[in-house]
Amino acid sequence: MTQSFSPQNAHQRHHASSDLLSQFGPQGRSLIKAGSRRWFLQMGLGGLAGLSASQLMQQQALAAAEKATSGKNPQAKSVILVWLSGGPSQVDMWDMKPNAPQEIRGPFSPIATSVPGIEICEHLPKQAAMMDKFTLIRSMDATASNHTPVTFQAANPKSQRTNKGIDGGGYPSMGSVTAKFRGANETGMPPYVALADSLAADIYGAGELGHEYEPLDAMKSKGKFDMPAGVQIPRMQDRDQLRQELDRFRKQTETSSSLAFHDRYVQEAYNMVSSGQIADAFDINKEPESVRNEYGNNSFGNKSLLARRLVEAGVTWVTLSDAWGHWDHHGDDVRWGGIEKGLAPMLPEFDHGIATLINDLEERGLLDTTLVLILGEFGRGPVINKQAGRDHWTPTMSMLMAGAGVPGGQVIGKTDRRGGAILERRLGPGDLATTVFTKLGIDPGQYWINHSGRPIPLVEGEAEYIRELS
């Protein structure tokens, strides 16, 4: 169920809501909600307003032209952004301070990893065992961010929640930039897909870049790429041929290239639906039961498996969130609990899900070309509060990266003895965007045009490629 969201009351409702059920839970229901029977006419031949399948084809053609002029040699074909909604605690997961007082170090102990000298939380043993595949950044500056996906999904310090109904200031997300400047890896697949229970709360979209670059809401896409009930391929072919006959006279007298292009995109939309390619990609039941079981029959496991299927099928950017605010561990008096009662039970499932995703990508030969980003909107305060949790903390946060040429087994940056301030190698959202775009073969110096007709660089302000990630 998609819940409404507004910046003014989101945080209060997030802590008050306790009855939201995941679409991907163990109930055994269909992975994604079923769509309308009229979808095919709406998405392709009907030309209904919104992001239609034919518009998707136009989007891909424009992106191909952008990519042809970028002149970059990409390391990444795809990106999977694992969004830890609410802000994960760096002190309790990836930047532990075992020598600090109890109120700072928290209830968990560090363990050694596969890389000498790197330690992480005892509840993340699978990530510890494969630390040679990760780069751990401990010095990401989140001061521009707040309780929203806007800043770090756009990876732009100017993209912030405004509380004026114009979240992000018009700046687009990295996924939407990728949709425009790179497009999908396979014809007929969407370039940017979101896997979240609430797009309004956990996914940031295109801003002023354009509606056609918004993410496809995968939670509402089940059945939309299947044939409508009672409609068979031969019948559709007959209707398509009839439409072509009716259009023939118009084509003989109409010289507008835009109409010819539109006809081509409608035909490609028809081919996309009739081939079943995109419907297959969205169906995790196509996977062997052993694979589904390995990922786990839970929200995070199902979404991670679907993310892998989508990049394998040709989607370029996937952002997934297991649940809204799941990592917002203020204390035992709120929905997600504090550190020991709330975070501790979550970590094994998260640990298993990340390890399974990375291993599966590697075994299928996809990790070398898939960049995996694991982060939230900010960190947590270095001191345990009276409710046994940690409060929001923007001065620093930690994140994980893997794949697409990212060297494993390293830590970038250092925080102070409390885990609350950056001591070495301060990095910001712009540095992240520069790195991600460069790995995708997108020139971060390119521009997009806002609603005022002003050219805006993809990355504004001082930013650099994170040299340790080459």
- List the CATH number of the domain containing 204: 3.40.720.10
What residues are paired with 82 via a beta bridge?
320, 374
What residues are paired with 392 via a beta bridge?
380
Q: How many residues in the chain?
A: 470
Residue 162's pLDDT band (cuts 50, 70, 90): low
pLDDT digits 0-9 by tens, 54-66? 455 555 544 544 5
Angle between helices 174-181 and 429-439 (to 10 degrees): 30
pLDDT at 277: 77
pLDDT digits 0-9 by tens, 368-397? 999 999 999 999 999 999 999 999 999 999
d(CA 173, CA 207): 7
More confident residue, 272 or 205: 205
pLDDT at 168: 81
* Number of domains into which the chain is organized: 1
Q: Are 401 and 347 in contact (CB under 8 A)?
A: no
Residue 340 DSSP label: I
Q: Say if residue 465's pLDDT is above 60.
A: yes
pLDDT at 49: 32
Q: Name the token pair of 185.
A: 């890896």
* Mean pLDDT, rounded, for 71-98: 93
Q: Is residue 41 part of a domain?
A: no
Q: Is residue 50 part of a domain?
A: no
pLDDT at 276: 67
Give residue 432's Cα distance to chain centre: 14
For a pLDDT cut of 90, what percent of the chain falls above it? 64
Residue 200 neighbours by CB under 8 Å, 6+ apart: 2, 3, 4, 5
Q: Say if residue 84's pLDDT is above 50.
A: yes
Note down the domain range covering 207: 70-226+276-469
Q: Name the token pair of 201.
A: 């709360």
Q: Are strands 134-140 and 410-412 parallel, antiparallel or unpaired?
A: parallel
d(CA 443, CA 463): 13
Q: Is residue 258 part of a domain?
A: no
* Mean pLDDT, rounded, for 244-268: 46
Q: Write b or e for each residue in 303-331: b if 16 or more Cβ atoms lie within 10 A of its Cβ, otherwise e.
A: bbbbbbbbbbbbbbbbbbbbbbbbbbbbb
Count how many Cα atoms sit within 13 Å of the Cα of residue 401 in the half-sphere of its side chain: 25
Q: Are 264 and 34 in contact (CB under 8 A)?
A: no
Phi, psi of 379 (to 5 degrees): -100, -165
Residue 467 neighbours by CB under 8 Å, 6+ apart: none
Q: Is residue 51 part of a domain?
A: no
Q: Are 326 and 336 in contact (CB under 8 A)?
A: yes
